[in-house]
Structure formats: structure tokens, C-alpha cells
Amino acid sequence: MAKVVAARPTLKADMTTTLPGRLLDIPIVLDGSISNQAARVHAALRMAIIDGYLRPGLKLPSSRGLAEQLGVPRNAVVAAYEQLLGDELAEARQGSGTYVTAHLPAASMARTPIQLDIDSFPNRAFALGRTHVDSGLLRQFATSVRRHIVAAGPDHLGYGDPRGSLPLRTEIARHLVASRGIRCDPNCIMITGGTQQGLRLCAEALLAPGDSVWLEEPGYYAAHGTLRAAGMGLIPVPVDGEGIRVDEGRRLAPMARAAYVTPSHQFPTGVTMSMARRVALLDWANASRAWIIEDDYDSEFRYAGPPLTALAGLGGERVIYSGTFSKTLFPSLRLAYLVLPQSVAEHVIKARSGVDRFPPAFLSDAVAELMSNGALAGHLRRTRLRYRQARDTVASVLETAGRGQLRIVVPPQGLHMVAYLPAGLPGDAGVRIREMAAVEARLFSETSLLPEGAEGFILGFSGYDGRDLAAAAKRLGEAVETYIGRSGVLAR
């Protein structure tokens, strides 16, 4: 007899045999979300066959018998069997019945569920990339999205421009000239689904597999992965108090084809690239015909004075500027942008056309409206104050709880701060302290391409409740003080 089970059982293959005069129970799951009964039976049988619960050569019940047991019309089972025959998952033997096909790939009876490392998601204090969005702004955004959908015309419902929404590109151009000193044509701006997509498009359009790319050391780990996946040769170039060491880059790889930098707020050290280094980097790029990819990921959050002039604002046709709305709004929006030199805009746009053709317009147009009516600017003013208070709370509590064992660098910009551990600790000290404190802080060693270097914590402070941050900072400071006390290493 066949029966329906509420959840997929764990069965052994030797249980799927027939006994004289009757059929053994067949383990299938009927999915109630499928409205068509024949499709529901077919889906259940198909899954049981593919997963190996119904072994090759097994005789299936008669259509009448299975229909009675499942409580479905017989014609639903007949139709399901016919579809299995069409799929070649079953075979009909004249005068004998319907059997599971004998020619199937080996199936694993013990399917291993996908295991996700929940700690890789920003659920605990100090994870990077968290943002605060007030409910009022979300309501405005939702209203704008709905309005654009309801009023959509053919231009919004068909295939779009691979550069993305013209209203958003226009607002971005206005914003950049006013705040970052970048004069750009909206026609040379391209909306992307995040900064890493933009970086990958630049690599595919402008570089070749095996080309060398300068990367700041330590530097942004996501960019490391993106460029490595694109086949680039990664050249770690050290960073000091003025930013990337251009002289070292010239020594290590003078003919590199690109440099990926975060000049306004270097990730993770927080250093601002000096004017002398900017000029040296531009001179190298111009002389070598190399590209500079400027990731300006959090320039809107400067707590002392106006935003700095971007590297792209200093001129030159060798700089590709990358910005994002993941920090100003929220990461799941998946909106970022590239400002492309006119000479290569067409090449990168064509690369985009070969990947996903064009980005969706409705969300982009709604963001453009938030920019044009001042709602986004007001949100940024409020969040700057909120994040500055969060930064100061973490620094104060961490200093007290750690009893001076950490060297804390309070940044004038951005959404993270750094706290260096003393030299001389064991190599796994950061990992152990992080586990003791139960925080999500990323380590310097996790942003480095080299085996040695200073160790410390990269502490994201945006998007958290102030009390949670204070409690986490206290745990981390106490864990540092306890660990160092046990190891007998003095802070220096």
C-alpha cells in the first residue's frame, strides 16, 4: 500500500521492494502549494525517484491503488505516470505495469543540507555594513516606488538603458559635483547592483586575465575575492599614514594594469591618502596607461568638516569612481554606480549588456526622487549624528574596559573604527578574544594578503542600538584585558 508522509523520511534502499500480493509503502510527499492534483502527484513521485527513495526497477502501484491511498482522482495518477514516462523516469512494461526506470544516476540517500555560517551574516555587534533607516524614510521610499510603478509607461516596462535610470544618474551627477568635486556627464554614469559588480565589470572590460592589480595592504577583502575570481594577479602594496605606498607599487609591479584604492577613508586603517600620494598615483597611472579604481564607499559620513575632494575630482582620464547607496540607505537595495571616463564608458557599458543587460528602474527612480526632494539629505544629517554618538560610545567604553591595552583609532569619517592589539601576542589571539567577547568584529589578518602584519579589530558601529554597542564594547575590552593578563604580554 502507498501512503502520504508529512515530511520526507530517511529510508534505506533495501526497503523499496515488493511483497507477494501487495506493494510496500512508497515514501512520497504531496506538496499542498501545488494546486493541480496531477502535477502534485507527479512532483512527489519525481522527487522520490531522483532522491533515491524509489530505487531503479521498482514496480509502482497501480493507478487505481495509488489514487485510493492518496485520496486523489485516478486520472490525476494516470496523468502523473504519463508525465514520468515522458521524463523517462519511469517505463511501462506491457502486461506488467509501470516501473521506475532502470537507468538513473546514483542518488545519495543521505542528502546533506546546506550549512550556512550564521556568523558570516551581520547579526552581532561590530559587524560591518549595518545601517539605520528610520520608518519615515522607508514610508516615503515605498510611496515613491508605488507611484512610479502605477504611473509606469512603455519606457519603464520594456528593456532599458544598460546604464540604468537617467533620473538617478542625473541626481548622482549633481551630488558628486557639489560634494566630491567630480564633474561628470550622466551619460558616463552606470548604475550597478553593488560595488563588487561594478568592479567585476571593469575587470572584464578593461583588463585581461593575468593582469597585475595593485591592492592596498591591508585592504578590502571583498575586492580581493572579486578580482581574484576575475583572474587578476593581486599585488599587495603596503599602506602607511599617507595611504598606499606608490613607490613600493612601482617597485613590486611597475607595469600593473590597475590599482584599486580607497583614498578618502582607507579600508581598514581609516587613513586618508595625502595629496602627495594622490599626485604620485595619478602620475603613475598616466605614465603606465593603468586604471585607478577609486572606491568611495562611505564619504557621506564625515564627522568633522565637509567631504573631501575625491581622487576622481582631481582630473585625469585614468580614474574610475565607484559609489554606493548601501551605506546611505541599506545594502539590500543593491544600488551602486560607476563614473566612467568617456574614453572607456562604451566598453564597460557593453560588458554590462552581456551580463544582465540593464538594472531595474523603479527602485532607482524612487531613490532619485529621495535625492531631489531632500529626503535623503535629511536622513544623512540625522544618521551622521547618530553614528558619531555610536562611534564615541564604543571608543569610550572600549578604552575603559580594556584598561589601555588597545590602541584605539577614532576616525573622522566612516562607519568603522580600528583597535590594535599589542605586538607579541600569539597568532590566534584575535580569534580567541573575539570568541570570548562573542562579537562579530573582523580582524586585520582577515583583510591582509600577507602572512604577517599588525593585528587588531575592525569595529563596525553603524546601525546598532547604543546600549547593545556599549555592552559589546565592554565585553571586548574585558576579553582583551583578560587574555593579555593571562598571556603576560604588556601593551606597547
pLDDT (0 to 100) of residue 16:
33
* Co-location of 356 and 221 in the same domain: yes
* Co-location of 170 and 284 in the same domain: yes
* Co-location of 96 and 193 in the same domain: no
Q: What is the DSSP letter of 110?
A: S
Identify whether the C-beta of residue 244 lies closer than 8 Å to the C-beta of residue 280.
Answer: no
Of 420, 364, 447, nearest to 167 (Cα)?
364
pLDDT (0 to 100) of residue 488:
64
**What is the Cα–Cα distance from 395 to 389, expressed in whole angstroms?**
10
* Co-location of 271 and 420 in the same domain: no
Q: Which of 59, 76, 100 is the C-terminal boundary of a domain?
A: 100
Q: How many domains does the chain have?
A: 3
Task: Report if residue 257 sits inside a domain.
Answer: yes
Task: Report if residue 391 sits inside a domain.
Answer: yes
* Co-location of 336 and 281 in the same domain: yes
Identify whether the C-beta of residue 297 lies closer than 8 Å to the C-beta of residue 318.
Answer: no
* Co-location of 181 and 327 in the same domain: yes
pLDDT (0 to 100) of residue 395:
95
CATH number at residue 467: 3.90.1150.10
- Which triple of cell numbers denotes residue 459? 569595529
CATH number at residue 89: 1.10.10.10
* Co-location of 338 and 445 in the same domain: no
**What is the Cα–Cα distance from 418 to 444, expressed in whole angstroms?**
9
pTM metric for this prediction: 0.77
pLDDT (0 to 100) of residue 108:
44
Task: Report if residue 37 sits inside a domain.
Answer: yes
Q: Which of 100, 122, 140 is the C-terminal boundary of a domain?
A: 100
Domain, as residue range, for 449: 386-487
* Co-location of 346 and 404 in the same domain: no
Of 356, 350, 351, nearest to 334 (Cα)?
356
Per-residue model confidence as pLDDT tens for the chain (492 residues) = 333 333 333 333 333 333 233 344 566 778 878 888 899 899 889 888 887 888 888 899 988 888 888 888 999 999 999 999 988 889 998 888 899 988 877 654 445 555 545 444 456 889 998 899 888 999 999 999 999 999 888 878 888 889 999 999 999 999 999 888 899 999 999 999 999 999 999 999 999 999 999 999 999 999 999 999 999 999 999 999 999 999 999 999 999 999 999 999 999 999 999 999 999 999 999 999 999 999 998 888 988 877 778 999 987 789 999 999 999 999 999 999 999 999 999 999 988 888 888 888 899 999 999 999 999 999 999 999 999 999 999 999 999 999 989 999 998 889 999 999 998 899 899 999 999 999 989 999 999 988 778 899 999 999 999 999 999 999 999 999 999 887 665 544
pLDDT (0 to 100) of residue 180:
87
CA separation (Å) from 416 to 173, 285, 460? 27, 29, 4
Task: Report if residue 419 sits inside a domain.
Answer: yes
Task: Report if residue 131 sits inside a domain.
Answer: no
* Co-location of 340 and 401 in the same domain: no
* Co-location of 201 and 301 in the same domain: yes
